[in-house]
Structure 1
């Protein structure tokens, strides 16, 4: 990749046709990317397909946003960055582009899902953008291929209000819950910190059995927290921890 990347709406089938090979580079050769013609139709009916392009017109990251039954809400279906250009803030750039694009069209909130054990994704979604994880969806996509193969496709559902200031809640004192060795307390506190793996995709590649154990042991804890009225409101990247707080009635 040479030259600075520009984030903008992808235009026409020529540019949209660059997304399937990019999807396979991001999520694996077995991944089922979106059909470019379908993406063109999606744009026509009010959806968003944006990308980060180099001066030669190559797409290195992309985002797909779907219209929903609510006029004020878009659902963010895909966001991916090529492995060669990660850790450059492209994910956040695409989300901020989406934010501006939506607000210009009176769309005031965006929803999406993400893997509960992907710490870096959670940090972007929750800590930097100010989204809140409001639900836990066990095995939401069923059996998956590519880099997600081998474990249930559990997901957090996220809501991102696009207007207003984002503030970080104070973290509770005391040790965090480690799903591999701890259970949740019988009497759940209003705020609770919970540990997650530092790099779940690496764990899935190098120790699939441990990755599966993380999924199996964390699932009932996440489920109970959301059922009890907690939401995921912050992420500490350095400590590898999530902050859950009980939602006020």
Structure 2
């Protein structure tokens, strides 16, 4: 990331309006969260972080308080980066500052959702930030017509980022073991696919393949994209029910798939 990027907490009405405008630009047609809502949230336990380049807001993360089962946490609702400023490390910088500020407020866990087949997000969230996932939500946001989600169920991973834990702060490595089980693929005319029926082991490390370039598949073969969505949905749901958690995205340099590494949640220091 260049030295011209400034990361800071957003709190004023004008900053909330800038965030709304950037959100509307990034997700054209979807609209941004109204500034009157975000200013209320940040005044009541929420958190907004901005990335500025030469005085212009080029990236943001926005979160609000959550409460469930007697537990208070921070819901990291949205993060967006201007297209001209992507792949510069801004996303990781926003999350790092978010973690620091959330800890100062008193939170120990943040949660957010992302599409598990979008592997760039998977690598950032799990491999770089050390968030984990053991919750799968089917069609989380219903049918959507934006360029990233049109034509497919909006399935999501709901991740947990335990910002006070050893797992996050000491970044305890979990290397892939020699006896790890790789869920097998089958060849098809359109490319590799998961088998119609997948037998899952009950213990040990498990690696689940996902497309390395899901957006390309969506553009070229929507039937194949839907096949990946539905079959990986079934696999992840079964593994999560069996006590597993996804902890990293293992990337392949040249292959058509990457792999999620899953281990028993009880083994993690969170």
TM-score of the superposition, structure 2-length normalised? 0.83
Structure 1 residues 114 and 75: CA distance shift in structure 2, 3 A: same
Query: How big is each residue's C-alpha offset from its partner over 1:57-98, in whole Å with a ceiling of 9 and x where there is no partner?
Result: 321111111112267521101011122111111111011001
Specify whether residues 20 and 208 from structure 1 end up closer, same or farther in structure 2 by C-alpha distance, changes over 3 A only: farther
Shift of 1:23: 2.0
Match of 1:34 in 2: 33
Aligned CA-pair RMSD: 2.2
Structure 1 residues 177, 39: closer, same or farther in 2, change over 3 A? same
Listed one character per residue, the Cα deviations across residues 76-126 of structure 1 (whole Å, up to 9, x for unaligned) are 010111221111111110110011101111211111111111111111111
Cα pair distance change 1:133/1:236, threshold 3 Å: same
Structure 1, unpaired ranges of 5+: none
More displaced stretch, 94-103 vs 76-85: 76-85
Task: Give the structure 2 partner of residue 181 of structure 1.
Answer: 194
**2:232 matched residue in structure 1:** 218
1:170 to 175, 197, 212: 175
Moved over 4 A (4+): none
- Over 3 Å counting, the alpha-carbon distance change for 1:127 and 1:11 in structure 2 is same
Shift of 1:178: 4.9
Q: What runs of 5+ residues in structure 2 fail to find an aligned partner?
A: 186-192
Partner of 2:188: none
More strand by share: 2
Report if the CA contact (8 A) 1:115-1:155 is conserved: yes
Structure 2 Cα separation of the partners of residues 134 and 113 of structure 1: 12
Structure 1 residue corresponding to 2:264, chosen from 237, 242, 246? 246
Q: CA 1:30/1:89 → structure 2, altered by over 3 Å: closer, same or farther?
A: same
SS at match of 1:74: strand
C-alpha distance 178-200 of structure 1, shift in aligned 2 (>3 A):
farther
Distance 1:53 1:206 in 2: 36
CA, structure 1 residues 114+230, in 2 after alignment: closer, same or farther (shift >3 Å)?
same
State the distance in 2 between where 1:100 and 1:166 align.
16
Q: Is the 8 A contact 1:116 1:156 kept in 2?
A: yes
How many residues matched? Answer: 246
Decide which moves more: 178-187 or 209-218. 178-187
Query: Residue 12 and residue 42 in structure 1: after superposition, are their counterparts in 2 closer, same or farther (change >3 A)?
Result: same
